[in-house]
């Protein structure tokens, strides 16, 4: 079996080289049969990679401990779902997942475009295949997943494997890596189309139209992956809450930021024919950052809580990145003429410039994150001394950036295209500003003095009002014209222009998430050593340790504190934080117990038994206000993205004048 798997990878490697060469040569020499055979090779690569992946998964599921990969990451006691998740539990397996996803995406792209873009497709295939060659090289030669334990040569056969790292045995963790990978790998498709249109000088914005939906879905996967990681970090201990500015977390955030910028600025190209070079740079940067993120995670260049084994992968990734960046930069410079803007900026007070600022700020943020992440590497290269920057640096730069972006989220939709007059702005901003001030003053009156929290909550109110106003004005117009109730009119309005109103829902999700982030300004915590029956007080909560139980099962032994929770004298039930020690790895883990509510989470950790007094437990208590809003906001964001993907009932240009025009007309200056 493992021989077949290894052979499949090797053959896929050869066929990927063939697909790359045949597409390029076929396109340049105008040989249709070569192009077609290249396309068939792409399908074959998928079959082979699926075979390899299938064999690895089968070996994991059937606990075939002859394989080094299976022995190191799986054991008999593990539930089936984690045996499956062990596919991406280690270096070799996750690189195979990358490769397999890439081949799957290539096939999907090829199938959906099999009769379209005959000029562009060979180059799209060339880009996809080139990346496939790179990953197949890693799978076949650098990190092969099908190595068999050298039993007999100083190594004993293993009766049971080591098991997946206990930290990874968590539902969110089982799906977090594949989600992120769907994001990481997915951005290669818009990049491939952008690059192909650059080479073939496609007229119009064909590549954007084709890949808009793809970019959006990929972005949604990337968002989901990041959020699942945050949710996992929150529920599994020791990673500094849901976000710790760890290099590998940053690595996943970087392409997300540039992709967000891209999703905004492509609108400028679609509507105005502006920012063509910029969009090309953004989508390329997004793809490179995806590769770069994989490189950071896999190579161990920067010290991170995630760092996998130090490996020789780094130089391979750097080699691939240099080639990709070099070729893309060369092509963009060569095609500057073709990328010329069709319109000019007319006013600083215009929708166009709000898009530019949005992009500028997002880019600044991603640059700051990149800079902070690579700071130790840079200082070592320049000064010979390794210096790192911590969370305060990232917060100091990114909190103002985040707040400014939040402001733009509210301002953008209120300004007209081309230019806005002060009068129209005054009219548009009246109510949002009133709500901003009311919120800030109301909070100050209730004793909130944290400056960033005040600004953030104020801006959240501001943006919410603008979004509600947009929905209200549009749907009221429809409800009057078509004699329908407001709620139905709102659905109708959204259906007529799903991109615009789905976009607003995404913004609403972001606002709710900001409320959640801002809650961190009011976190409370305490650590206490308590005996049975003793109490801990924090905020309005009173906690009493009832008992400590222990027991074991084949996978781990556990010890659990049972803690009764009361608030204002009213009983709220029991929380049971737990400590586990996994049998095969002897790794202890904490299972925190969380009482989740929209206004605040009560979060308990059973740190350990006391060493000085074996009858006392050390309990850590945290109150995280509003943290649930982050997850709620994410669901809203996802819902908004789905709405964006539904085709609009009315063509966009029509919708803009007929429906949205109800409001835009007011904001536009009279000529």
Partner 1 sequence: MKTYAKFTLLVVAIVGTLAWLAASGINESKTYYKTISELKQLPGGEATKRVRVTGDVVPGSIKRDGERVHFQIVEKGQPQILNVVYTGKDPLPDTFRDNAQAMADGKLQADGSFQASSIAAKCPSKYEAAPGGKPAAQPLNGAKPPSMS
Q: 151 or 333: whose CB is closer to partner 1?
A: 151
In whole angstroms, the minimum distance from the beta carbon of 308 to partner 1 comes to 6
In the set 370, 532, 642, 650, which binds partner 1 (CB under 8 A)? 532
Task: Tell me if 161 contacts partner 1 by CB under 8 A.
Answer: yes
CA atoms within 13 Å, Cβ hemisphere of 414: 26
Task: Tell me if 423 contacts partner 1 by CB under 8 A.
Answer: no
Task: Tell me if 538 contacts partner 1 by CB under 8 A.
Answer: no
Task: Tell me if 534 contacts partner 1 by CB under 8 A.
Answer: no
Task: Tell me if 151 contacts partner 1 by CB under 8 A.
Answer: no
In the set 611, 647, 653, 671, which binds partner 1 (CB under 8 A)? 611
Please report, for residues 355, 421, 665, the alpha-carbon distance to residue 669 in angstroms, rounded to integers and kept in the order given. Answer: 20, 6, 8
Q: How deeply is 381 buried, as exposed, middle or buried, from its count of CB atoms within 10 A (0-12, 13-18, 19+)?
A: exposed
In the set 529, 534, 542, 658, which binds partner 1 (CB under 8 A)? 529
Cα dihedral: 333, 335, 341, 342 (round 10): 170
In the set 108, 209, 378, 387, which binds partner 1 (CB under 8 A)? 387
* Nearest residue to 583 (alpha-carbon basis) of 549, 550, 560, 552: 552
As a three-state string, the secondary structure of 416-476 is CCCCCCHHHHHHHHHHHHHHHHHHHHHHHHCCCCCHHHHHHHHHHHHHHHHHHHHHHHHHH
Q: 305 or 572: whose CB is closer to partner 1?
A: 305
CA distance 438 to 579: 46
Q: At residue 183, what are phi and psi to the nearest 5 degrees?
A: -70, -55
C-alpha angle with apex 41: 96 to 322, nearest 5 degrees? 55
**Paired residues of 605 in beta bridges:** 620
Task: Tell me if 3 contacts partner 1 by CB under 8 A.
Answer: no
Q: 35 or 530: whose CB is closer to partner 1?
A: 530
Task: Tell me if 343 contacts partner 1 by CB under 8 A.
Answer: no
Task: Tell me if 375 contacts partner 1 by CB under 8 A.
Answer: yes
Q: Interacting stretch for partner 1, rule CB under 8 A, among 215-223, 266-274, 616-624, 630-638?
A: 616-624
Task: Tell me if 37 contacts partner 1 by CB under 8 A.
Answer: no
* Nearest residue to 128 (alpha-carbon basis) of 194, 173, 177: 194
In the set 607, 632, 638, 642, which binds partner 1 (CB under 8 A)? 607
Query: What are the structure tokens assigned to 388, written together?
Result: 């790192």
Q: 337 or 385: whose CB is closer to partner 1?
A: 385
Query: What are the structure tokens assigned to 13, written together?
Result: 């490697």
Sign (positive or negative) of CA dihedral 84, 85, 88, 92: negative
Please report, for residues 4, 18, 135, 174, 233, the alpha-carbon distance to residue 43 in angstroms, rounded to integers and kept in the order given. Answer: 18, 12, 16, 28, 38
In the set 17, 448, 581, 632, which binds partner 1 (CB under 8 A)? 581
Contact in structure between 133 and 205 (CB atoms under 8 Å): no
Task: Tell me if 555 contacts partner 1 by CB under 8 A.
Answer: no
In whole angstroms, the minimum distance from the beta carbon of 585 to partner 1 comes to 5
In whole angstroms, the minimum distance from the beta carbon of 289 to partner 1 comes to 19
* Nearest residue to 131 (alpha-carbon basis) of 179, 93, 98: 98
Query: What are the structure tokens assigned to 96, written together?
Result: 């195979």
Q: Interacting stretch for partner 1, rule CB under 8 A, among 24-32, 65-73, 312-320, 480-488?
A: 65-73
Q: 50 or 668: whose CB is closer to partner 1?
A: 668
Q: Interacting stretch for partner 1, rule CB under 8 A, among 290-298, 316-324, 333-341, 349-357?
A: 349-357
Task: Tell me if 386 contacts partner 1 by CB under 8 A.
Answer: yes
Task: Tell me if 166 contacts partner 1 by CB under 8 A.
Answer: yes
In whole angstroms, the minimum distance from the beta carbon of 449 to partner 1 comes to 21
Q: At residue 545, what are phi and psi to the nearest 5 degrees?
A: -75, 115
Site string for partner 1, 397-416 (x = CB under 8 A): x--xx---------------
Task: Tell me if 353 contacts partner 1 by CB under 8 A.
Answer: yes
Q: 77 or 650: whose CB is closer to partner 1?
A: 77
CA distance 550 to 548: 7
Size of the site for partner 1 (CB under 8 A): 91
> Residue 578: helix, strand or coil by DSSP?
strand
Task: Tell me if 155 contacts partner 1 by CB under 8 A.
Answer: yes
Q: Interacting stretch for partner 1, rule CB under 8 A, among 20-28, 216-224, 330-338, 347-355?
A: 347-355
Within positions 86 to 105, which residues make up the interface with partner 1, using CB under 8 A? 90-91
In the set 10, 277, 389, 642, which binds partner 1 (CB under 8 A)? 389
Task: Tell me if 544 contacts partner 1 by CB under 8 A.
Answer: no
The terminus-to-terminus CA distance of the chain in angstroms comes to 75
Contact in structure between 355 and 265 (CB atoms under 8 Å): yes
Within positions 489 to 528, which residues make up the interface with partner 1, using CB under 8 A? 525, 527-528
Measured from the Cβ of residue 635, the count of other Cβ atoms closer than 10 Å reads: 12
In whole angstroms, the minimum distance from the beta carbon of 348 to partner 1 comes to 5
In the block, tokens 């990041």 appear at: 226
Question: 533: phi > 0 → left, psi -120 to 50 → alpha, else beta; which?
Answer: left
Q: Which helix (H) or strand (E) holds 345?
A: none
Q: Interacting stretch for partner 1, rule CB under 8 A, among 13-21, 37-45, 268-276, 351-359?
A: 351-359
In the set 479, 590, 641, 648, which binds partner 1 (CB under 8 A)? 590
Q: Interacting stretch for partner 1, rule CB under 8 A, among 112-120, 125-133, 578-586, 632-640?
A: 578-586
Task: Tell me if 165 contacts partner 1 by CB under 8 A.
Answer: yes
In whole angstroms, the minimum distance from the beta carbon of 411 to partner 1 comes to 14
Q: At residue 165, what are phi and psi to the nearest 5 degrees?
A: -50, 125
Task: Tell me if 348 contacts partner 1 by CB under 8 A.
Answer: yes
Contact in structure between 548 and 559 (CB atoms under 8 Å): yes
Q: At residue 35, what are phi and psi to the nearest 5 degrees?
A: -60, -45
Within positions 228 to 247, which residues make up the interface with partner 1, using CB under 8 A? 236-241
Task: Tell me if 609 contacts partner 1 by CB under 8 A.
Answer: yes
Q: 303 or 329: whose CB is closer to partner 1?
A: 303
Q: 396 or 450: whose CB is closer to partner 1?
A: 396
Q: At residue 567, what are phi and psi to the nearest 5 degrees?
A: -135, 125
Within positions 303 to 342, which residues make up the interface with partner 1, using CB under 8 A? 303, 305, 307-309
In the set 297, 620, 628, 641, which binds partner 1 (CB under 8 A)? 620
CA distance 445 to 448: 7
In whole angstroms, the minimum distance from the beta carbon of 356 to partner 1 comes to 8
In whole angstroms, the minimum distance from the beta carbon of 660 to partner 1 comes to 25
Contact in structure between 184 and 255 (CB atoms under 8 Å): yes
CA distance 47 to 41: 10
In the set 178, 376, 516, 633, which binds partner 1 (CB under 8 A)? 376
**Paired residues of 535 in beta bridges:** 544
């Amino acid at each position: 079996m493992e021989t077949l798997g290894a052979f499949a990878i090797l053959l896929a490697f050869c066929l990927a080289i063939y697909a790359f060469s045949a597409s390029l040569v076929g396109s340049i020499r105008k040989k249709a049969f070569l192009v077609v055979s290249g396309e068939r090779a792409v399908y074959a690569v998928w079959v082979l990679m699926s075979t390899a992946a299938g064999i690895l998964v089968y070996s994991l599921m059937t606990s075939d401990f002859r394989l080094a990969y299976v022995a190191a990451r799986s054991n008999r006691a593990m539930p089936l779902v984690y045996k499956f998740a062990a596919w991406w539990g280690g270096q070799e397996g996750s690189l195979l997942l990358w490769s397999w996803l890439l081949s799957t995406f290539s096939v999907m792209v090829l199938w959906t475009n099999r009769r379209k873009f005959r000029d562009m497709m060979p180059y799209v295939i060339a880009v996809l295949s080139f990346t496939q060659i790179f990953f197949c090289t890693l799978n076949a030669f650098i990190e092969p997943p099908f190595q068999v334990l050298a039993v007999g040569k100083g190594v004993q056969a293993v009766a049971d494997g080591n098991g997946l790292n206990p930290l990874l045995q968590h539902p969110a963790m089982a799906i977090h890596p594949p989600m992120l990978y769907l994001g990481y790998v997915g951005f290669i498709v818009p990049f491939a189309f952008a690059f192909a249109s650059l080479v073939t000088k496609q007229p119009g914005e064909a590549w954007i139209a084709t890949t808009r939906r793809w970019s959006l879905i990929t972005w949604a996967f990337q968002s989901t992956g990041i959020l699942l990681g945050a949710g996992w970090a929150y529920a599994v201990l020791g990673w500094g809450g849901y976000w710790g500015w760890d290099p590998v977390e940053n690595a996943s955030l970087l392409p997300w930021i540039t992709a967000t910028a891209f999703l905004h600025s492509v609108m400028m190209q679609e509507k105005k024919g502006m920012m063509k070079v910029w969009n090309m740079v953004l989508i390329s940067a997004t793809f490179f950052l995806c590769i770069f993120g994989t490189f950071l995670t896999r190579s161990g260049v920067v010290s991170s809580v995630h760092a996998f084994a130090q490996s020789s992968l780094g130089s391979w990734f750097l080699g691939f990145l240099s080639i990709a960046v070099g070729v893309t930069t060369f092509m963009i410079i060569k095609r500057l003429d073709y990328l010329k803007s069709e319109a000019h900026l007319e006013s600083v007070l215009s929708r166009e410039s709000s898009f530019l600022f949005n992009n500028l700020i997002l880019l600044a943020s991603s640059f700051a994150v990149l800079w902070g992440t690579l700071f130790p590497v840079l200082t070592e290269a320049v000064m010979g001394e390794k210096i790192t920057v911590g969370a305060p640096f990232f917060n100091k730069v990114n909190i103002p950036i985040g707040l400014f972006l939040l402001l733009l989220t509210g301002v953008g939709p209120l300004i007209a295209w081309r230019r806005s007059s002060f009068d129209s702005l005054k009219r548009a901003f009246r109510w949002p500003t009133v709500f901003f001030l009311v919120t800030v003053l109301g909070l100050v009156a209730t004793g909130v003095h944290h400056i960033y929290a005040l600004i953030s909550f104020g801006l959240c109110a501001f943006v919410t009002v603008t979004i509600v106003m947009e929905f209200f004005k549009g749907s009221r117009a429809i409800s009057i014209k078509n004699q329908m109730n407001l709620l139905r009119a709102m659905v109708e309005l959204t259906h007529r222009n799903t991109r615009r109103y789905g976009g607003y829902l995404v913004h609403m999700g972001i606002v709710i998430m900001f409320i959640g982030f801002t809650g961190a300004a009011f976190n409370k915590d305490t650590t206490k050593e308590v005996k049975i029956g003793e109490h801990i007080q924090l905020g309005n909560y009173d906690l009493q340790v009832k008992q400590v139980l222990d027991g074991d099962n084949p996978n781990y032994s556990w010890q659990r504190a049972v803690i009764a929770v009361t608030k204002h004298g009213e009983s709220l039930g029991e929380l049971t934080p737990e400590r586990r020690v996994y049998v095969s790895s002897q790794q202890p883990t904490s299972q925190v117990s969380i009482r989740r509510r929209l206004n605040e989470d009560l979060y308990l950790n059973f740190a350990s038994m006391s060493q000085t007094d074996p009858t006392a437990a050390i309990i850590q208590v945290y109150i995280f206000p509003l943290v649930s809003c982050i997850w709620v906001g994410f669901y809203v964001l996802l819902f908004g993205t789905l709405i964006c993907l539904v085709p609009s009932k009315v063509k966009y240009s029509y919708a803009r004048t007929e429906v949205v025009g109800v409001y835009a007309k007011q904001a536009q200056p009279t000529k």
